[in-house]
Amino acid sequence: MKNVAVIGAGTMGNGIAHSFAQNGFKVHLIDVNRDNLKKGIQTIASNLDRMVAKEKITEQQKQDTLNNITPFTSIKEGIDYATLVVEAATENLDLKLKIFKELDEFCSSSAILATNTSSISITQIAAATSKPERVIGMHFMNPVPIMKLVEIIRGYNTSDVVTKTIMELSKTLGKDPVEVNDYPGFVANRILMPMLNESVETLYNGVAGVLEIDTVMKLGMAHPMGPLQLADFIGLDVCLSILNVMYDGFKNPKYAPCPLLVNMVRAGKLGVKSGEGFYDYSESRKAEKVAQQFLK
């Protein structure tokens, strides 16, 4: 289990590739978009540079990690000899089903197929393959190289052997795996997303402003960041997608996304990734912050 393919070079994908490569795995990082692939490798290199600067790893360990990663733009070529494939593409059911049909066609029959989905049914994804017992969820947390938790989600048909293998494998990455069953949102997002959604509702209803809501939760509940800031960090489009999955899955109105969240996503205000969400992350805002610090 030393040959791993990771599909998707975005935030989660490059973080997963980083974690495996740093722990001695040979990783094929796959993304059909060459620019995304290049950016993903650059992100890994930058994160490793920070670790070297903080003396958490040596320069040689950084080079060894980068040497363990090989980029591919073709799924068929990239999954050759992989004993584990971790899909970390966009949180879109149709896309994931398409990818898993390809994996089923081109992967070794003994390979374990994992998905990093944060809410979509593992059972439904596994149904796109001929061996659903070898499909499992590995829900890493962002930022992957730092966060310890991995939700290990077994689908309806996931075998005990595959579950045990992935639990043990996660530990070799320095992670703390937690086994959960396959229901919308699993554990992390089933609890987190309604809280974030309620925070948006609180803002929408005029109870308090963005900063006030986040301050209450940081100072009163000891959260490291406020819920609205966290939503920006996750991506408001991702939050909306997860809430919709849970709403569709449970048909319970408590999971219905707040209209403000829906409108912000429609307007392209997605949080950090777009430069604006509940907070402003634009270059002009950064310049303003620098000026304020200088004036102090």
- Please tell me the distance from the alpha carbon of residue 4 to that of residue 7, in angstroms, as a whole number: 10
The active-site residue, picked from 14, 91, 119, 139, is 139
- Please tell me the distance from the alpha carbon of residue 19 to that of residue 44, in angstroms, as a whole number: 10
The yes-or-no answer on residue 151 being catalytic is yes
What is the residue whose two structure tokens read 């309620």?
198
The yes-or-no answer on residue 282 being catalytic is no
Q: Is the dihedral of CA 215, 217, 219, 225 positive or negative?
A: negative
The active-site residue, picked from 189, 197, 241, 274, is 189
Query: What length does the chain have?
Result: 296
SS3 state of residue 205: coil
Strands annotated E in the chain: 3-7, 26-30, 69-72, 84-87, 112-115, 135-140, 149-154, 176-181
3-class SS shares of the chain: helix, strand, coil, % to 5:
55, 15, 30
The yes-or-no answer on residue 67 being catalytic is no
Within 13 Å of residue 174, how many CA atoms lie on the same side as its CB? 12
Find the radius of gyration of the CA atoms of the chain. Answer: 20
The yes-or-no answer on residue 189 being catalytic is yes
The active-site residue, picked from 19, 47, 118, 199, is 118
CA dihedral 291, 234, 142, 134 (to 10 degrees): -160
Residues labelled catalytic: 118, 139, 151, 189
